[in-house]
Structure 1
Amino acid sequence: MRLHSCGSPRALSVRIPLVAHPARILLIASPSRGRTASVLESVRATLSTLGAHVDPCDADDAECVTRDVFDFAIVIGGDGTIIEQARRLLARAKPIIGINAGRVGFLAEFDSESFKTHAEFILAGNAKVRTRNVLAVAAMRGVTRLGGGCAVNDCVITAGEPFRMIELNLTVDDEAGPAVVGDGVIISTATGSTAYSASAGGSIVHPSLDALSIVPICAQSLAFRPVTIPASAHVRFTVRRANEGTALVLDGVKTCLLHAGDTITIERNPQGALFVTNPDNSYWRTLTEKLRWAAMPSYRTDTP
């Protein structure tokens, strides 16, 4: 079954589109959240200096991404805000410049100072853009669509209340696989591999890899280890046993409740999310500095 996709066909090559002069910017932020107001003020000043045309947009307004033509969307916030806006912007197929105003900001390539340094370079159309895979998900009860949508990070089938184990039958590319018996399962993109998937024991997957991860949550079988598969694979779960609260969750948002017999189909969305990269950053640097990947324990130096 071909799923309903979000946006236009996925670009196979990654390059920045033509940029108008002056550049047209959709500036998305929620000024009332945390440090956002001060970061927003700094970014506005930078854009004003460069003569960019700025269209401000409240992050809570889902309709603002449908506005007139723009070259870039600047999203100010934490990872949650950036992921939410990336989903909304899929149909526009425009590059996103993530500027951190949250705690970790793993997906935010810039802070206000680094954006100020590179803004002229970016707005001139010189920046590199990375296409990140997005999941297209559909939950079905017979021929009735229960819910679904797109996920930048992950699709999770979670046991829910009363928190007994659930059972799911897994099929990959029409080939039957094992049953997942436990608290649920995570299907993660490379982008989401550093989120819930990593906490559940999944591997960290470099975003340049065209791959998905299937990660069981507290599997009853000790032999059911996380597995990484091609992003082109078609994944299907059939619910064999569920709880009252068993649910499909996309990027942390509960989409629908699931019952025994329901099917959940996951595949790569044709259109990926486009993120402008920071020329001064690398993935490994971000892993070590923001997630403390492979960091050694702190040792006292005042002992003999």
Structure 2
Amino acid sequence: MIQRHGVLLGEIDAGDAALPPSAERADVVVVLGGDGTILGEARRCLHLGKPMLGINTGRLGFIAEFELHDLEAQAETLLGNGSIETRRLPLIQTTVESPDGTRAEVGLALNEAVIAAGPPFRVIELEMSIDGKPGPTFRGDGLILSTPTGSTAHSVSAGGPIAHPDVDALIITPIAPHSLAFRPIVVPGDARLELLILRANGDEAAAGTTLLLDGQVARRLGTADRVMLRRSERSARFVVNPRGHYWSTLTHKLRWAEAPRLRHP
């Protein structure tokens, strides 16, 4: 299909380590898969600066704006010489400072950055600050910082709000907080969140408290580590489906606001 309407410069599997040199000449990166594949390829192809066209071949495909039948119906416009609309989606930049002051960039997240308690799954303790101002000390199973894109992923499963992708915000969602008063909160998109690990899980022999980016990139955390999270200056570009809209995606894929009904076997 691509060759009928454009030029196919190359095909690679999601697990391939490196992109071919021809990727630099591409006008658009077409990704077939589910949300996990698209999240991984968004990070891997970010340096190209090319828009990504996500085609859902997975189960849900919330990030992918197109199904295979959409591509077939709009191939001439999307893959030929027609103009395409794109949307920039924010990324979260993550930095970890060790107790000795050494800093390491962990990576970028399109959906969310999660500090997860990890085995043996005791309560962890985090000292929070936002924009350099002291915040609460959190005790619980973990904490999620999500973008509006990621608000319908791990965050919403933990009770966080859904945010429209055009909203300039970040969402802080606790995981099983040891407090009835710690509710999810929406903060400005340029807010800087800093978390000092007061108590972590794990030891030298076993994985424990972990920083997870989009559920794919992991970094072990220990007591006295400091995690710094903020919106990156870089963003991911995605091709917009001109025949779709956000509210349709919410209702059809997440069944948003759908009334309860009996399903007969």
Which TM-score bucket, shorter chain as reference?
over 0.9
Please tell me the residue identity of whatever aligns with 2:108. C
Bigger Cα displacement from structure 2, 254-263 vs 208-217: 254-263
Counterpart position of 1:220: 178
Counterpart position of 2:101: 143
Specify which of 78, 95, 103 is matched with residue 59 of structure 2.
103
State the 1:129 CA deviation: 0.4
Instruction: Flag structure 1 segments of 5+ consecutive residues without an equivalent.
Output: 1-45
Distance 1:93 1:300 in 2: 46
Distance 2:20 2:95 in 1: 24
Counterpart position of 1:290: 253
1:69-148 to 2 correspondence within 5 Å? Answer: 69-123=25-79, 124-141=81-98, 142-145=100-103, 148=106
Aligned-residue CA RMSD (Å):
1.6
Matched, 1:243 2:201: yes
Distance 2:216 2:14 in 1: 16
Counterpart position of 2:223: 260
Specify which of 140, 157, 160 is matched with residue 118 of structure 2.
160
3-state SS in 1 of match to 2:58: coil
Shift of the 128–65 alpha-carbon distance from structure 1 to 2, 3 Å rule, reads farther
3-state SS in 1 of match to 2:129: strand
Matched, 1:276 2:239: yes
User: How big is each residue's C-alpha offset from its partner over 1:274-298, in whole Å with a ceiling of 9 and x where there is no partner?
Assistant: 1101111111100110111111111
State the 1:83 CA deviation: 0.5
User: How big is each residue's C-alpha offset from its partner over 1:196-230, in whole Å with a ceiling of 9 and x where there is no partner?
Assistant: 00000000011011111000000011100000111
Counterpart contact for 1:147–1:255, Cα < 8 Å: no
State the 1:125 CA deviation: 4.5
Counterpart contact for 1:129–1:276, Cα < 8 Å: yes
Identity of aligned residues (%): 45
Please tell me the residue identity of whatever aligns with 1:90. L
Specify which of 153, 167, 191 is matched with residue 233 of structure 1.
191
User: How big is each residue's C-alpha offset from its partner over 1:39-90, in whole Å with a ceiling of 9 and x where there is no partner?
Assistant: xxxxxxx212214233111211131166431110000000000000001111
User: How big is each residue's C-alpha offset from its partner over 1:66-123, in whole Å with a ceiling of 9 and x where there is no partner?
Assistant: 6431110000000000000001111111100000110111111111111111122123
Counterpart contact for 2:128–2:134, Cα < 8 Å: yes
Counterpart position of 2:205: none
Shift of the 51–156 alpha-carbon distance from structure 1 to 2, 3 Å rule, reads closer
Shift of the 243–103 alpha-carbon distance from structure 1 to 2, 3 Å rule, reads same
- How many correspondences in the alignment? 256
Distance 1:282 1:296 in 2: 21
Distance 2:16 2:262 in 1: 48
Please tell me the residue identity of whatever aligns with 1:251. D
Shift of the 117–239 alpha-carbon distance from structure 1 to 2, 3 Å rule, reads same
Counterpart contact for 1:129–1:274, Cα < 8 Å: yes
Specify which of 140, 150, 153 is matched with residue 192 of structure 1.
150
User: Would you identify which runs of 4 or more consecutive aligned residues in structure 1 move more than 3 Å?
Assistant: 65-68
Shift of the 133–197 alpha-carbon distance from structure 1 to 2, 3 Å rule, reads same
Shift of the 214–51 alpha-carbon distance from structure 1 to 2, 3 Å rule, reads closer
Matched, 1:47 2:2: yes
Counterpart contact for 1:193–1:213, Cα < 8 Å: yes
3-state SS in 2 of match to 1:56: coil
State the 1:231 CA deviation: 1.3
Bigger Cα displacement from structure 2, 147-156 vs 281-290: 147-156
Distance 2:215 2:61 in 1: 16
Counterpart contact for 2:14–2:37, Cα < 8 Å: yes
Instruction: Flag structure 2 segments of 5+ consecutive residues without an equivalent.
Output: 203-207
3-state SS in 1 of match to 2:40: helix
User: How big is each residue's C-alpha offset from its partner over 1:173-197, in whole Å with a ceiling of 9 and x where there is no partner?
Assistant: 1011111110010000111100000
TM-score for both structures, normalised by structure 1: 0.81
Counterpart contact for 2:9–2:26, Cα < 8 Å: no
